[in-house]
Amino acid sequence: MVTDKLRTDAYAQALEREIKTGDVVAEIGTGTGIFALLACRFGARRVYAFEPSAVIELAREIASANGFADRIEFIPRMSIESALPERVDVIVSDVHGILPFFDRGLLSLIDARQRFLAPKGRMVPRSDTLWIAGVNAPELYQEHVGPWNDKPYDFNMSAALPRRINSMDQRYVTADQLFLEPRCLTTIEYQTLQQPDLDASVSWTVDQESQGHGIVLWFDSVLADGIMFTNRPGAPRLIYQQQFCPWPAPLDVRAGDTVTVTISARLVGNDYVWRWDTQLASKNSPHAAQQFRQSTFFGSDFSLNDLRRSAAQFQPQLNEEGLIHRRVLSLMEGKMSLEAIANQLASDFPKRFPRSQDAFNLVASISRTFAT
């Protein structure tokens, strides 16, 4: 991420423009801390840098090595789980993947803006615009469906094909592979964003005979006035590729045909479930009309037992592993050492922990997750 100069240079320019001397800054997802360091360089009085992963320790070392340890407060938690002692003037983040609808990033930014940002504060980036186009790329399509369309080693493996055609891929698409022109799907304004989901629809009227293999999505990110970067097909390559959504089969279109694609993205837990419905309508050949309904839900593998245990009416009962975790948590009241808890656990569940070290390893792991 740091060595992607197109991206990082754009952020550096935006931070230099947006940060005023004495500002307080919050960074959501600091990673190794490059934006926090830049914020200090450009005059920030204080930077609150959130990072739940262990890389935050490296960020601390880097900040210290550059003389900014006293101005950056590293917070080893998700921002949504935290509080700040003061309002901030700037919130900076790059928490999306190849699209801004990624993990809980949008939810974190909505929360941070509402709870952390001062009334006249600024967001970097300011907005992300999501674009969509149709793709004519037989080689890319074949790479996506892979062996499931063939018979590798003379085995029929087509049972995997429905999962694959309901899965998205990260790909570098070229501008000359677009057969339906780019259309704006939606624009996310971070200063006013209220909810993390997506619902949008676009249509094209085809002007010449062609064949399509799916759709591709990308973003234009506006960081500040006149400063942006993009992962659109044909632009200089970023670390971010484009998101390819295949069709179940190649789509043959003729001049005058209408192609309509409806996209939705729903945040479920920590991940998005994507859906892309495609409809081909033909005035000249009504019999040629086609309709595809696809979703990453159908591209996932679920066991029947997992689905049963996720049903709203299911009445759960703890298994042995659940009982073990409950016992460990019940002993974490600030009165026993990890060693003492592990010894008690091994005594309570001797068949599960034939070695005391095994019990200690589990207790230590639970401590890292839940203890303060």
Query: Measuring CA to CA, which residue among 48, 45, 46, 36 is closest to residue 12?
Result: 36
Domain boundary among 124, 145, 171: 124
Are residues 62 and 9 both part of a single domain?
A: yes
- Residues in Cβ contact with 193 at an 8 Å cutoff, skipping those fewer than 6 apart: 106, 109, 110, 113
Are residues 240 and 349 both part of a single domain?
A: no
Are residues 157 and 214 both part of a single domain?
A: yes
User: Using CB atoms within 10 A of its CB, is residue 281 exposed (0-12), middle (13-18) or buried (19+)?
Assistant: middle
Is residue 51, in this structure, part of any structural domain at all? yes
CATH of the domain at 112: 3.40.50.150
What's 144's DSSP letter? H
CATH of the domain at 279: 2.70.160.11
Distance CA 59, CA 1 (A): 14
What average pLDDT score do residues 272-278 get?
96
Are residues 134 and 116 both part of a single domain?
A: no
Are residues 134 and 59 both part of a single domain?
A: no
Question: Is 197 in contact with 244 (CB distance < 8 Å)?
Answer: no
pLDDT digits (tens, 9 = 90+) for 316-371: 999 999 999 999 999 999 999 999 999 999 999 999 999 889 999 999 999 998 99
Tokens coding 75: 């917070």
Coil vs helix vs strand at 199: strand
Is residue 336, in this structure, part of any structural domain at all? yes
Are residues 204 and 261 both part of a single domain?
A: yes
Query: Measuring CA to CA, which residue among 131, 130, 125, 129 is closest to residue 225?
Result: 125
Question: Is 248 in contact with 276 (CB distance < 8 Å)?
Answer: no
Question: Is 145 in contact with 246 (CB distance < 8 Å)?
Answer: yes
Place of tokens 């990453």: 296
Distances (CA, A) of 315 to 118, 224, 323: 45, 51, 16
**Bridge partners, residue 273, by sequence:** 266
The vertex-67 CA angle with 61 and 69, nearest 5°, equals: 55
- Residues in Cβ contact with 71 at an 8 Å cutoff, skipping those fewer than 6 apart: 40, 44, 45, 46, 47
What average pLDDT score do residues 278-284 get?
88
Are residues 240 and 94 both part of a single domain?
A: no
pLDDT digits (tens, 9 = 90+) for 143-168: 999 888 888 899 999 999 999 999 99
- Give the pLDDT band of residue 286 (cuts 50, 70, 90): low
Is residue 210, in this structure, part of any structural domain at all? yes
Are residues 17 and 63 both part of a single domain?
A: yes
Tokens coding 165: 């055609």
Domain boundary among 108, 124, 140: 124
User: Using CB atoms within 10 A of its CB, is residue 186 exposed (0-12), middle (13-18) or buried (19+)?
Assistant: middle
Coil vs helix vs strand at 195: coil
Are residues 284 and 356 both part of a single domain?
A: no
Is residue 56, in this structure, part of any structural domain at all? yes
pLDDT digits (tens, 9 = 90+) for 261-270: 999 999 998 8
pLDDT digits (tens, 9 = 90+) for 70-85: 999 999 999 999 999 9
Is residue 308, in this structure, part of any structural domain at all? no
State the total domains in the chain: 3
Look at residue 11 in the predicted model and tell me its pLDDT.
96
Are residues 144 and 216 both part of a single domain?
A: yes
Pairing between β-strand 46-50 and β-strand 24-28 as defined by DSSP bridges = parallel
Distance CA 177, CA 175 (A): 5
pLDDT digits (tens, 9 = 90+) for 129-140: 999 999 999 999
- Give the pLDDT band of residue 283 (cuts 50, 70, 90): confident
Q: Rounded to 5 degrees, what are φ and ψ at 57? A: -65, -35
What's 236's DSSP letter? P
Are residues 110 and 247 both part of a single domain?
A: no
Is residue 314, in this structure, part of any structural domain at all? no
Is residue 219, in this structure, part of any structural domain at all? yes
Q: Domain range for residue 184?
A: 128-303
Is residue 312, in this structure, part of any structural domain at all? no
Higher pLDDT, 152 or 92: 92
Residue 302 has pLDDT above 80, yes or no: no
Coil vs helix vs strand at 231: coil
Domain boundary among 124, 143, 167: 124
Count CB neighbours of 322 within 10 A.
Answer: 11
End-to-end CA distance of the chain: 31
Are residues 118 and 16 both part of a single domain?
A: yes
Place of tokens 């992300």: 128
